[in-house]
Amino acid sequence: MIPRRGLLAGLAALSGLSLAGCGGRHATTAPSYAYAPPGGVSWSPKVDGLDAVIDISHNVQVSDFSEVRKANILAVIHKTTEGGDWIDPSYAPRRVEAESNGLLWGAYHFGTRQYSGVRQAQTFLAAARPTPRTLLALDFEPNDLNPNNTMTLQQAEDFVRTVHHATGRLPIVYTHAAWANGMHSGRRGVRLQRPVGPNSILAQCDLWLADPREEPVVPEAWANRGWRLWQYVANESDGDAAYGTASRAVPGVTHCDRNLFAGNAAELHRYWGIGRARA
């Protein structure tokens, strides 16, 4: 969901990390940054995980999902909705194509402030048409292109409760440590009114962590659980490798965000079929 590399000079200042959604309607207007380690050393994460999940949106051109699957990608998470009134037009047709090529399918919603969390969840579920094998996700981060339209913590919690009530499952929550911990984040330095706490329903959801560093930082609310998915690189393509010379571009798509899953392939399939049912 990151339309650019969030790894800038001075990355140690996590509060400056900006992760605007890859699927945002205006994401193509965001600048792109690249980072290469000193000396051109090829980059690889220091954390173990299964590198078999990508996330994309309508901004990504898809030529062949069979090529995606042949590249050892097992799952695709696709943007479905934003706010309470926008549906990604490529979601439905691509779902049919991806699943027919043996790929697991997921749906994510980019949260905003314009509509209530309940309405956003209702719009999301109507568009996603989830089955028990559809991963559901909330993209909860600063709206960098329109900070005043950033989803609040209360809206995010209402979104999660609505999804749980309708499906019996908790969505996975995509966020990064600076934002969830209540620090100033993004280019405009917005922040939550209060951090995501351990008693928040969001902390009961699995974490989809956004962090482009080799050793990611987990938000405090998930400190005892860690991440289920880790988005370690964004907008990866042959012509725009994120880290040194080691391209992680995926054939069949122009570019994508890449994610590690905390487990092996068998566990990934089991997770996709069950998801989270706690609340």
Q: pTM of the predicted model, to two decimals?
A: 0.84
Number of domains, the chain: 1
> Binning pLDDT at 50, 70 and 90, where does residue 198 land?
very high
What pLDDT shows up at residue 247? 66
> Binning pLDDT at 50, 70 and 90, where does residue 131 land?
very high
Q: Say which range, 39-53, 145-159, 202-216, has the weakest mean pLDDT.
A: 39-53
Per the domain annotation, does 18 fall within a domain? no
CATH number at residue 96: 3.20.20.80
Per the domain annotation, does 27 fall within a domain? no
In total, the chain counts a number of residues equal to: 279
Question: What mean pLDDT is reported for the chain?
Answer: 83
Per the domain annotation, does 137 fall within a domain? yes
Type and span of the H or E element at 53: strand 50-56
> Binning pLDDT at 50, 70 and 90, where does residue 26 land?
very low
What pLDDT shows up at residue 23? 39
Measured between its terminal Cα atoms, the distance across the chain in Å is 26
d(CA 221, CA 210): 15
Per the domain annotation, does 77 fall within a domain? yes
Range of the domain at 143: 50-274
Per the domain annotation, does 76 fall within a domain? yes
Per the domain annotation, does 21 fall within a domain? no
Tell me which residue of 98, 107, 113 sits closest to 149, measured CA to CA: 113
What pLDDT shows up at residue 21? 38
d(CA 255, CA 56): 8
79-123 confidence digits (pLDDT tens): 999 999 999 999 999 999 999 999 999 999 999 999 999 999 999
Is the pLDDT confidence value at 33 over 80? Answer: no
d(CA 19, CA 86): 20
What pLDDT shows up at residue 183? 96
223: phi then psi, degrees, rounded to nearest 5: -60, -35
The angle subtended at Cα 50 by Cα 128 and Cα 164, nearest 5°, is 30
What pLDDT shows up at residue 239? 65
State which amino acid sits at residue 77.
Answer: I
Quick one: what percent of the chain has pLDDT higher than 90? 70
Tell me which residue of 3, 271, 262, 274 sits closest to 143, measured CA to CA: 3
Per the domain annotation, does 270 fall within a domain? yes
Per the domain annotation, does 26 fall within a domain? no
